[in-house]
Amino acid sequence: MKNKNILVTGGLGFIGSHFVELLYKKCENCKITIIDSYAYCVSEKTEDYLWDMYRKSSNKLDIIYVSISDFKLDKEYDYIVNFAAESHVDNSIKAGDVFIDSNYIGVYELLKQLPDSTRFLQVGTDEVYGSLQFNSDPSEEYDLLEPSSIYSATKAGADLLALSFHKTYKKDIIITRCTNNFGPRQFPEKFIPVIAHFANNNEQIPVYGKGNNIRQWIYVKDHCEKIYNVLLQGDAGKIYNLAPDSEYHSEISNIEIVEIILTILKKPKRLISYVEDRKGHDLRYSLKDSVYRDMMIQAGKQLEFSETQKTFADDLRYTIMWYIENEKWWSK
């Protein structure tokens, strides 16, 4: 990619910042603009990390501190990638207003201003499909949407809004939906960093219900690579499920994740504390990504794993050790 003007909303957040880091490596002579409201889950250290990186690059970086609900599009961009969203399900259960404003109204405000020449990629979630049974087939792109929380409902609504702008106004819009992300720089309220923090400090680790809920995990950098591929190769108006490669073996129960992390940190299982289950807690998420794979094959890209391909266990271990070594990442 060369000489492109790219807007990344939520670019100081967990996944967004990794995507901005990817653009640093993939783009030549590009102008990257981040829109971010600088909410509670943004680290000043992440911002500094990105500034320092781009100072060494031919690419240019600009950051505008504003919510997407209030942002005025004053120039044309080749690409807009929307990561901006409130994403903590527990918070949406307690107070949903901010999720409506950011995840739904914010997307509408962006879409209203979208030029015909701009490709818009809406980053979605597997949670819009709702809960699967243990033996159910993975969710596919045009399965019924059955969101269980205000978070997933607002994300489903944003996807439908975006698709309506494609159909009615012929805007160049693509939807991606991904499985659970993990990796460095995720805010410590999320599942894997929470476990790492409590385990490392020999504190009780809260586990909802019996910990039997199953999630499919993807390393954040792998997710960003797939988003980048869809941005360049995807067809307007399509939805692309983004899942880890089948050989990654990362569809796993919550309690198994806890036990693996305890093993990595050499901590006892007696730290596990089962607590009352979350309201509307979905049993299982899993995605089928055949549309994405077909896109890559048509583009002549190689999909198979090599014999030296890293594993979920490798990425999880690296992630846990990153959290242990960077516990002050979010200190103000």
Q: What is the CATH number of the domain that holds 291?
A: 3.40.50.720
Domain presence at residue 34? yes
Q: Give 302's pLDDT tier (boundaries 50, 70, 90).
A: low
pTM: 0.95
Task: Please compute the mean of the pLDDT values over residues 256-261 and round it to a whole number.
Answer: 97
Give the SS3 label for residue 28: strand
- Beta carbons within 8 Å of 81's beta carbon, 6+ residues apart: 6, 7, 8, 9, 19, 121, 123, 227, 231
Task: Please compute the mean of the pLDDT values over residues 172-189 and round it to a whole number.
Answer: 96
pLDDT of res. 310: 83
More confident residue, 189 or 223: 223
Domain presence at residue 127? yes
Domain residues for the domain of 78 are 5-183+218-246+285-305
pLDDT of res. 90: 74
Domain presence at residue 18? yes
Domain presence at residue 225? yes
Q: Which two tokens stand for residue 43?
A: 């680290």
Q: What is the pLDDT of residues 303-319, one digit of tens each?
A: 554 455 789 999 999 99
Active site positions, annotated: 126-127, 151
Q: Which two tokens stand for residue 141?
A: 């792109």
Given a cut of 70, whether residue 226 has pLDDT beyond it is: yes
Q: Give 24's pLDDT tier (boundaries 50, 70, 90).
A: very high
Q: What is the pLDDT of residues 111-155, one digit of tens each?
A: 999 999 999 999 999 999 999 999 999 999 999 999 999 999 999
| Number of domains composing the chain | 1
**What's the chain's average pLDDT?**
93
Could you tell me which of 223, 204, 194 has the C-alpha nearest to residue 330? 194
Label residues 288-316 b or e (16+ Cβ within 10 Å = b): ebebbbebbeeeeeeeeeeeeeeebeebb
* CB neighbour class for 257 (10 Å; exposed up to 12, middle 13-18, buried from 19): buried
